Structure 1
Amino acid sequence: MSDYKAFRVELKDKIAHVAINRPDKFNAMNADFWTEIVDIFRWVDETDEVRVVVLSGVGKHFSAGIDLGMLAAGTHKYGKDVGRNAELQRRVILKLQGSINAVDNCRKPVLAAIQGYCLGGGIDLITACDMRYATVDAQLSIREVDMGLAADIGTLQRLPRIIGDGLARELAYTARTINGEEARSIGLVNRTYADHDALQAGVLEIAQEIAGKSPIAVRGTKRMLDYMRDHSIDDGLEYIATWNAAMLQSEDLRIAMTAFMNKQKPEFAD
């Protein structure tokens, strides 16, 4: 693994720990963040030993969102032509979207562990994860309307599929802050924990459980769930039939069945 400026990355027991590492800046997403996250999740996808990802933030906060200094620096590139400015801005937005898409498109499950602030771009990031977990006092907010713009990096596209249209609209229109317990009650996070230590231990336990499963089965399950976001039930049934026509021939199936019948813990190859 390479050294990163905006992240700390570790691999242990089949679990990749990916932590935003700018605690003195509330883990705000600077230019390094947006380029490095693509490289990190490419490494995750290409490394067979990695079976699960835990995504977190170093220090008191998960992330305060996009670094405002980075946004301000981008305005200096504008000229006098509105059309050319728009084309430039569109490319920037698509590049940022691509960084968040790298998380969403990861073939392995990604679990977000959220403490402290999770604001603006932080919501974009966690909605691209498979599951989300938070401390009870975490503070989550879609802040973009208070900055005079519409969120454009994924929140408005993904959040309604997680918590429903009405609640997503309320949070996006008002920019109000919710705590971890309310986030759990509306389905934005799966579970809450009393403090940061309990959060890290709890999410790690879930990650370890997933890492012990057949990687073939887990990736197939994730692929099917992702596919169903944009397809009908009939499409999904057809796809899983074709997928499992190959995957049911995996050695993992025999190992799992044998372990189950013998009441043993199965061991699967990467």
Structure 2
Amino acid sequence: MSGYAISVNTGIAHLVLTRPKAGNALVAGFWNRLAPEIAALDRTGNVRAMVLSSEGSIFCAGMDLGEFAGGIPDPDSPAARESFYHLALSLQETFSCLERARFPVSAAIQGACLGAGLELAAACDLRYASSDAYFRIEEVNTGIMADVGALQRLPKILPEPVVKEMAFLGRSLGSIEAAKHGFVADVADHAAGALHMAMTAAQRVCEMAPVAIAGSKAALRWARDHSVPDALEWSARTQSALWSTQDIAASLQARRSGTLPEHEPLLPKASFGL
């Protein structure tokens, strides 16, 4: 059991968490399967945007604590701790794959977004929330440090004092405050409204030149973690590689005629020997 389903329609992938009775808590199947599936979607070049949503009244309650039914992991030797390190890296990759994908990922969030659920949302490019949504670094309330992205990504988006209160005090951040600080792009009255916003964003992305979108996402990710001069150098080199007179001409013609442009598609990621 993975606890999610993915469908693709007209270039938009829709990932839905499907365990509403369990608060859409993330089970082992989710952690083991998601990264390879996202990589496969990204490899084809056919997906232009992704929307992430969930069934029920709760977006995601975090990691399913039932995974610890056999006992809480207790790496009690150097070899066991070295092995545990690789487990942590594997869990981090589950969300980092969304950040690295060539297509933008928009999340529609309702109700509780806790722990690993918050870290999942933080790895998305855009977040839209219902008015009842709230966000919390839940790990600190269970005696552990958050380790799959909250403490690394949130400080790049939210003010440092807000993140520290969430990390040290287990403070919840409501949707309105989250929007005020820029973590949430917009707030809807209800879950359906948030999903509509996310889908509308995805549809708009699909009207853009795929190479330009992929390059923009990569440039933003690079700039986040590098100095302005380094990021400008990277951007100049990348622009020289991605510049498409065909896409520019198609965009200008579409603007004049009031129609949708026909852009060059992304190609599948190249593989050696294939």
Instruction: For 2:69 and 2:142, locate their aligned partners in 1 and report how far apart those are by CA, in whole Å.
Output: 13
- Aligned match of 1:219: 214
Alignment partner of 1:229 out of 212, 224, 230: 224
Segment drifting more, 54-63 vs 66-75: 66-75
Note the 1:22-61 alignment, pairs <5 A.
22-61=19-58
1:68 equivalenced with 2:72 (yes/no) = no
For the aligned residues, what is the CA RMSD? 1.7
Deviation at 1:61, TM superposition (A): 1.4
Instruction: For 1:250 and 1:69, locate their aligned partners in 2 and report how far apart those are by CA, in whole Å.
Output: 54
Q: How many residues align?
A: 265
Alignment partner of 1:173 out of 168, 176, 184: 168
DSSP-derived class of the 1:73 partner = coil
Segment drifting more, 214-223 vs 65-74: 65-74
Q: CA 1:152/1:265 → structure 2, altered by over 3 Å: closer, same or farther?
A: same
Deviation at 1:54, TM superposition (A): 0.3
Alignment partner of 1:110 out of 90, 105, 108: 105
DSSP-derived class of the 2:260 partner = coil
Unaligned segments of structure 2, at least 5 residues:
266-274
Segment drifting more, 220-229 vs 64-73: 64-73
Deviation at 1:74, TM superposition (A): 5.8
1:202 equivalenced with 2:197 (yes/no) = yes
Q: CA 1:258/1:74 → structure 2, altered by over 3 Å: closer, same or farther?
A: farther
C-alpha contact (below 8 Å) 2:2/2:28 kept by paired residues: no
Deviations along 1:121-178, one digit per CA (max 9) or x if unpaired, are: 0111111111111101012111111111111111000000001222111111111222
Deviation at 1:113, TM superposition (A): 0.7
Q: Which runs of 4+ in 1 moved over 6 A?
A: none
1:9 equivalenced with 2:32 (yes/no) = no
1:154 equivalenced with 2:149 (yes/no) = yes
Deviation at 1:11, TM superposition (A): 0.9
Instruction: For 2:252 and 2:57, locate their aligned partners in 1 and report how far apart those are by CA, in whole Å.
Output: 44
- Aligned match of 1:259: 254
Please tell me the residue identity of whatever aligns with 1:159: L
1:131 equivalenced with 2:126 (yes/no) = yes
Deviation at 1:72, TM superposition (A): 4.4
Q: CA 1:102/1:240 → structure 2, altered by over 3 Å: closer, same or farther?
A: same
Please tell me the residue identity of whatever aligns with 1:131: L
Q: CA 1:74/1:46 → structure 2, altered by over 3 Å: closer, same or farther?
A: farther
In percent, how many aligned pairs have the same letter? 35
C-alpha contact (below 8 Å) 2:128/2:195 kept by paired residues: no
Instruction: For 1:23 and 1:35, locate their aligned partners in 2 and report how far apart those are by CA, in whole Å.
Output: 20
Q: CA 1:188/1:28 → structure 2, altered by over 3 Å: closer, same or farther?
A: same
C-alpha contact (below 8 Å) 1:137/1:181 kept by paired residues: no
DSSP-derived class of the 1:163 partner = coil
TM-score by length of 2: 0.91
Deviation at 1:48, TM superposition (A): 2.1
By relative contact order (CA 8 Å, sep 6+), the higher-ranking structure is: 2
C-alpha contact (below 8 Å) 1:192/1:199 kept by paired residues: yes
Instruction: For 1:13 and 1:220, locate their aligned partners in 2 and report how far apart those are by CA, in whole Å.
Output: 21
Alignment partner of 2:81 out of 69, 77, 86: 86
Deviations along 1:175-225, one digit per CA (max 9) or x if unpaired, are: 122221222122211111001111111211111111111111111111110
Instruction: For 2:72 and 2:86, locate their aligned partners in 1 and report how far apart those are by CA, in whole Å.
Output: 13
